[in-house]
Chain A
Amino acid sequence: MTTPDAAVARKGPAARTATGRGSGLWRASMARSSVELKSFFRNKQSLFFTLLLPVVLLLVLGSIFSGTVPGTHTDFKQTFVAGIIACGIMSVSFNGLAINIAIERDTGMIRRLASSPMPKTAYFVGKIVRVVVTGILEAVILLAVGVSLFHLPLPATTEHWVTFLWVLLLGAMACSLLAVAFSSVIPNARSAAAIVTLPFLVLQFISGVFFPYSQLPAWMQTIAAFFPLKWMTQGLRSVFLPADFAVVEPAGTWELGRTAAVLGAWCVASLLLTLLSFRWRGANVK
């Protein structure tokens, strides 16, 4: 640790410019990432609502549903677990991030960061670290619960693993970017959890998480097909269900190419929305 005098001595025009922008960005990103993870894991609310709620859903609903998918020997729970993993990823990325940003905007954090020389990129690096770490944790927990309690088979081939990873990664990216944009319609920190839960809940019901997608009314399927969660669950069904289950899907195939296209389009659209809506300053930034 330096003494106050040393701090004064090393200060000056040279010291100020000696720290290049690159190293400043690295240091700021490390500081942001560390704070993101600390506050996530210390906050009981964020731990429960974003990380543990999908696990609870899996345990409770997984214990209710039983039987095999009609005409097959495949446990119905497997389709359900695939959907819950997709929800878990949406939970940590979309719900978690939108609520988190709304709180940071309402409690003065964003304002103070904007008032500091922090490179703006560092803020988003921190958010990415937050979503990646919590997303991996969420996927591992749900996978572990699914495999140990509900006979979920692990992805069978390397190809399945690859699909598993890119669907989660692209899904998390689309949901995170959407969360940043969505946070701007949340008026204050208190209402954040409620406002975020509504679209999440609706999407869960119409995207084939709790009910088989193929049995939903056609208009509901159409609406769901516009949003990322439907494609994430479908992508994960392709990983965990036998290949011949594809015939139940609306298109008769897993449509992995279309899944990538829709999720990619959501990334691009959400990024644009984020660029247009995210504010470092203004009346709503307390």
Chain B
Amino acid sequence: MAAVVDTANPIHVRGLRKRYGNASVVQDVDLEVHPGEVFALLGPNGAGKTTTVEILEGVRRRTGGDVSVLGRDPAEDAPEWRARLGIVPQTTGAYSDLTVREVIEHFAAFYPAPLPVEQAMEMVGLRKQERKQAHQLSGGQLRRLDVAVGIVGDPDLIFLDEPTTGLDPAARLEAWELVRYFADRGKTTLLTTHYLDEVEALAQRAAVIVAGKVVEVGTVAELGGRRDTPAVVSFTRVGRMAGLTLPLLPPDALVDPSDDEVVTLHTHSPTQALAAILPWAAEAGVHELPDLRVQRPTLEDVYLKLISENQGADS
């Protein structure tokens, strides 16, 4: 049966539902996270990402659906199952009156095979602050301490709920290194974030959740039909190019007819298009095309499009 294969995945979700009274926060969510991958969960605020993640972490009960995380139902809340999870919740914790080292040592004591405390401090870049009490830390440092608390158990599956919110750019890169460290060792990560560059840099696959529903799942490169969306080539006609008809372009190329001065064309073969355009322009005496751009859809374009389409349909 397919289910046997499916539950071999660290995260397997079928028809997940969560309702508060009459309000459906999560509706029929299916998710499949493969071993060793970094999987990103994207979506606007209030879309149900955190609720979904919290159900998977076993800190929130579901209304319905099948959920298997590392082969167990999270609702069982088994300690030996918890020992294999690393959880960094969205809100930053306060550990007043304890030093960085004490906080990490304290949580390490709960795990059968934790990372050495020094290594955990090193990984989040808090080695220099180890004797500082938590209330003396900056917001970003507190967030890093939170990450250290989440990963000190050397987890097989890590939940990172907006781990880099509030971090400065250098600290964000350190956080990325940490995600890669676990990925390189074959561990699985479920990442929630609003930063699409983070998704591009770290994740292999992603799901987009809008209004409690998964509207798209796929590899980051293919998300939202990104690979199928044509590139846009544009430049400005100058000099003798103005009166000339365009050369023979790749068969799929569509030229935007609205503007005579700026040429905009959509094609899946931008290289071939340019190969035709460049000699054509050179013949007209133009050797440097003004305002030449080749644009491929960014993850952000695709993401925003997905969200506006699905939110529009919902309201």
Contact = CB atoms under 8 A, between A and B. Distances in A.
Nearest to B123: A4
Task: Report which residue of B87, B98, B110 has the largest number of chain A beta carbons within 10 angstroms of its beta carbon.
Answer: B110
A157 interface: no
Contact of B112 (A4, A15, A30): A15
A285 B102 CA distance: 23
B93 A108 contact: yes
Contacts of A151: none
A112 B93 contact: yes
A42 B84 CA distance: 33
B131 interface: no
B80 interface: yes
Interface string A14-29: 0111110100100110
B119 interface: yes
B119 A35 contact: no
A210 B111 CA distance: 50
B241 to A, nearest CB: 62
A11 interface: yes
A280 to B, nearest CB: 8
Interface string A185-199: 000000000000000
B270 interface: no
Interface in B75-127: 79-85, 87, 89, 91-98, 102, 105-107, 109-116, 118-119
A118 interface: yes
Given A1-B116, A38-B97, A111 B89 contact: yes
B275 interface: no
Interface string A267-286: 00000000000000100011
A11 B105 CA distance: 18
Contacts of A116: 82, 107, 110-111, 153
Given A42-B97, A112-B149, A7 B89 contact: no
B115 A38 contact: no
B82 A117 contact: yes
A158 interface: no
Interface of A: 1-4, 7-8, 10-11, 15-19, 21, 24, 27-28, 30-32, 34-35, 38-39, 42-43, 107-109, 111-112, 114-119, 122, 281, 285-286
